[in-house]
Amino acid sequence: MNTSDSHNDNAIPNIHIPENEKVLACLKDIHPYDKIILPFSENKVNQGITSSDLVGHFALMSNLPLDSKYVIYGSEALVHPKTGIIFGFITGINVVYRLPDNLLKEAKEGNLINFRVMKDSGIHEMKNLEDNWVSSPSITDPLIYKCYEYYGQAVPEEAAVHLNFDLDLTTPRTREFQDQARSRRLLSVGLLVVACILIFFLWYAANYFMQLPR
């Protein structure tokens, strides 16, 4: 999807702020030779460091304004246009978001197991990121919009943002959920085995009685 070039270059936010120090260092390490920040356009994304399937992923988020979508050091990124805070980027096969600490805490308390903290991912360039940079296939567009609103505040209210497990996540993959799913699969297999055994015995009994002398 090619959106772009409808940005006003003069309106590019100032991303050189303390909150972005570590993520800018990370993105620069990944590809130091691209321009620091440009309005999003597919042809500005460095496809040598981004999976072709993910190019334009942020651009397709219709609930986020166009002026929050940029390319930083060749990586597609989300930036709040007012505060300049970077809250998402894509590199390789990783779609990474900066979740407010309160949301991340609630995700951990909910026992979600498919939230990967990027500083612990083993990717060298990400080892110095803050703890709240995460990647998860469960994260939905409404949750990203919460991040957009949160990082647009001059003084973010941590306690005011909460996780809605029904709307913000796709099929929460908690350990409890996986245990229940495993139990349901085992029950289905067990019932199938029992049904097969019963059918066999019914077939055997029917053949036996048909062969009895009359």
> What is the predicted pLDDT for the residue at 113?
77
pLDDT tens readout for residues 182-192: 454 555 666 67
> What is the predicted pLDDT for the residue at 177?
47
Higher pLDDT, 96 or 189: 96
What confidence tier does 178 reach under pLDDT thresholds 50, 70, 90? very low
Q: What is the pTM of this model?
A: 0.76
Residue type, 61: M
> What is the predicted pLDDT for the residue at 188?
65
Half-sphere exposure of 88 (CA within 13 A, CB side): 27
pLDDT tens readout for residues 46-58: 999 999 999 999 9
Cβ-proximal residues to 83 (8 Å cutoff; 6+ apart), any chain: 13, 17, 19, 151, 152, 153, 154
Q: Give CA separation, 44 vs 6, 76, 183, in Å.
A: 14, 9, 48
Model confidence at 181: pLDDT above 50: no
